[in-house]
Amino acid sequence: MRAVTLRNGIIGLLLSGCLVSAAQARTLDTAYGEVDVTGTPERVVTLYEGALDASLAAGVTPLGAVTTRGGDNVAEYVEAHLGDERPAIMGVVREINIEAVLEQRPDLILAPARLTEEQYQLLSRIAPTVVPPTQPIAPDNWKAEARLYGNALNRQDALEDAISAVDQRAAELASALDAAGVGGTAFVVRWMPGGPMVMSKNLFTAGLVAQVGLTVEDAGLVGERGVHSDILSLENLSQVDGDWLFLATLNEDGQEALASAKQSSAFTRLDVVQREQVVPVNGQLWTSANGPLAALAILDDIEAALLP
């Protein structure tokens, strides 16, 4: 059984490689140079949460995916978008199981920006491997990545739709918040026992918060290249005292982070805490995920927390 399907798969691969005309070939700019992809890939493996998200948004359920942080399966918010088929697990982000990828006999591999050269050399022998170029951190990076993945999938339109759906949803939420008089400055922090780490205002999540009309700040604590600050001294906690404080951990339950932060008297002194405008959020989604579906889920979170 197994051998037969294996052989068929290979013949299929060879045929699709030979028969599809060059007119349908698309050339993608990736971190490792130009990559040609032909036709509409059907056997897709994603090795990055953002790639899984983009692929699902485009209507393609990948054959394989890596686990999310803090779990042994894909992220929770992704579950809602999975049908009966579930992607097989290709290992964890830290150790990608290349043989498992091969076993799926993919015709397209969507990889993270930080894929090492050695891994790329092997993966690109299995199938065209799309590694997004590393860009300076900016809130809109996810759009470029999603478009690149969409182009590779030959479903540019579906991804454009998904991206504009996010923009539209954000715009609606922004006007709703505006009508409700909700606005002001916001910080996104992760709470650690020694103090908070301020997340960069250039991150994916921060961009969405900004899009709904809040002013996201990082108090100049995060450098240009940084994702988050060092742990801020408790003495300087007042620097994150804005109108809203989004508090994340990698816990699924942000309430726990809030409870632990409230044990610190330096934290409970903050105005934003006393006004009860601290929003505990799911760190798995807020600090790890990426892509149009994650964006919609985050906007849902914001709506639930901020709209009165």
Residues 186-215 that bind another protein (CB under 8 A): 191-195
Nearest approach, Cβ of residue 2 and another protein (Å):
9
* Segment lying near another protein (by CB under 8 A), choices 22-30, 160-168, 246-254, 270-278: 246-254
CA 127 – CA 13 distance, rounded (Å)? 10
Distances (CA, A) of 122 to 117, 125, 194, 195, 236: 9, 5, 42, 42, 48
105 and 81 Cβ atoms separated by less than 8 Å:
no
**Taking a C-beta distance cutoff of 8 angstroms, is the pair 143, 132 a contact?**
no
Binding flag, residue 93, another protein (CB under 8 A): yes
Binding of another protein by 12 (CB under 8 A): no
Among 303, 5, 2, which residue's Cα sits nearest to residue 169?
303
- One of 1, 22, 72, 80 touching another protein (CB under 8 A): 72
For the segment 32-61, give every residue that binds another protein (CB under 8 A): none
* Residue 122 DSSP code: H
Q: Which is nearer to another protein, 14 or 180 (CB)?
A: 14
Least distance (Å) from another protein to the CB of residue 139?
15
Asked whether position 144 contacts another protein by CB under 8 A, the answer is no
Residue 35 tokens, joined: 């990559």
Q: What x/- string results for residues 161 through 180 when contact with another protein is judged by CB under 8 A?
A: --------------------
| Shortest CB 296 distance to another protein, Å | 22
229 lies in the binding site for another protein (CB under 8 A): yes
Using only C-alpha atoms, the chain has a radius of gyration, in whole angstroms, of: 21
The yes or no reply on residue 133 touching another protein (CB under 8 A) is no
Among 269, 271, 274, 307, the residue binding another protein under the rule CB under 8 A is: 269
Q: Which residue has the tokens 């991206």?
A: 163
Map the footprint of another protein across residues 113-132, applying CB under 8 A: 114, 116-119, 121-122, 125-126
* Sole binder of another protein in the list 19, 235, 276, 308 (CB under 8 A): 235
Query: Shortest Cβ distance from residue 95 to another protein (Å)?
Result: 5
Contact yes or no for 131/31 (Cβ under 8 A): yes
Which residue among 90, 152, 166, 306 contacts another protein (CB under 8 A)? Answer: 90
Choice from 16, 40, 185, 264 touching another protein (CB under 8 A)? 264
Stretch touching another protein by CB under 8 A, among 38-46, 169-177, 210-218, 254-262: 254-262
Segment near another protein (CB under 8 A); pick from 157-165, 173-181, 208-216, 222-230: 222-230
Decide if residue 138 touches another protein (CB under 8 A).
no
Which pairs count as long-range contacts for 224-229, CB under 8 Å and 24+ apart, including other chains? 224/136, 224/137, 225/136, 225/137, 226/137, 226/200, 227/137, 227/199, 227/200, 227/203, 228/190, 228/197, 228/198, 228/199, 228/200, 229/197, 229/198
Q: Do 235 and 241 form a contact (C-beta atoms < 8 A)?
A: no
Question: Total residues contacting another protein (rule CB under 8 A)?
Answer: 71
φ/ψ of 55, rounded to 5, equals -65, -45
